[in-house]
Amino acid sequence: MTVEYHVKDISIHRIVEQELGTRDAFQFLKDLTPELLEENRSWLEPLALLKNTNNFSFCFQSYVIKTPHHNILVDSCIGNDKPRPNRGSWHLKNDNYFMSALAKANLKVTDIDYVMCTHLHTDHVGWNTKLENGQWVPTFPNARYLMSSTELNYWIDLHRKTPIDAINDSVLPILESKQAELIKSDHVLSEYIRLMPTPGHTIDHFSVLLGKNEDLAYFTGDLIHTPLQAKYPNLCATVDFDYEQATQTRFSFLERVCEQKALCCTAHFPGTSVGKFTKWKDTYRFNAE
């Protein structure tokens, strides 16, 4: 498994926490029909679709970008010790995968300067915090955590009505420690790094864009979950917040990165999650690198 990529003087490191998560394809994609899945089975198997099953395979990971000035963590994946009763393989888990991947990238938790929260779903904020003496404390003591203020307000409102574990244990402690930086989803961090609004999966989801005066690599967050959605960008995840907007975001993103031939670092594509999208007749295809 390739875990390190280089774009000019910047390196990108995959921090893989779980490699083989599975979800029922029909539960996962809203308008997927058995006919459409069969039609595509031959190229989806065995990586994106487990052989002879209807189960998509997903990778769960973060990325670290090392620029000449900063170490930036894009999303913080699942986390340890988190109560996630609806997800067996995440619930109160305690393993070393995330931390050893960070160590393999030659990084300590104190080396992370920024944590980018593309959105505030459970599997993207987990390592924001760790359990220490019964308290949730920031995992990265020197980091600023960037979150969209619109996204944050939406989740805080929801959390007040019905408590959400991930907001409670992985987001609120960051606000309390005053390490959160509330930004707009088109924020410019530095000459190398900026954000691009990619709403639809959540209310103010953003992607992270890397490149000095050019668009060289994208960190997609959850604007796309499986290679099947490149061929059919109108297929939405059932959990998408706004189906129409999510579809529009996927179409315009795919068109843009095809034209730019930009490297795309996806959050959940199985196997090699990093690659480039190219045109495929009148739609798109993912080519792993």
Applying CB under 5 A, the residues found at the interface with Zn ion are: 123, 222
C-alpha 10 chain-centroid distance: 20
Could you tell me the smallest distance in angstroms from the CB atom of residue 58 to Zn ion? 8
Give the residues across from 133 on adjacent strands.
none
Query: Of 123 and 204, which CB lies nearer to Zn ion in the complex structure?
Result: 123
Q: Given CA atoms 231, 236, 240, 246 in this order, what sign does their dihedral have?
A: positive
Q: Report in angstroms how near the CB of residue 226 gets to Zn ion at its nearest.
A: 11
Dist CA 205 CA 222 (whole Å): 8
Phi (first) and psi of residue 159, to 5 degrees: -65, -35
Partner residues linked to 6 by β-bridges: 11
Cα dist. 38→21, 43, 60, 102, 227 in Å? 21, 10, 26, 39, 15
**Distances from the Cα of 284 to the Cα of 13, 150, 227, 261, angstroms:** 25, 31, 9, 12
* Beta-bridge mates of residue 217: 210, 263
CA dist 174 and 177 (Å) reads: 5
Report in angstroms the alpha-carbon separations of 139 from 1, 110, 175: 26, 9, 13
Least separation in angstroms between residue 57's CB and Zn ion is: 14
**In the complex, what is the shortest distance from the CB of residue 121 to Zn ion, in angstroms, rounded to a whole number?**
5
CB of 77 to Zn ion, least distance (A): 9
The residue (of 67 and 207) whose beta carbon lies closer to Zn ion is 207
C-alpha–C-alpha distance, residues 226 and 46, integer Å = 13
CB of 84 to Zn ion, least distance (A): 13
Question: Which residue, 151 or 222, has its beta carbon nearer to Zn ion?
Answer: 222
* Cβ 135 to Zn ion shortest distance, Å: 26
Nearest to 63 by CA among 20, 27, 108, 13: 13
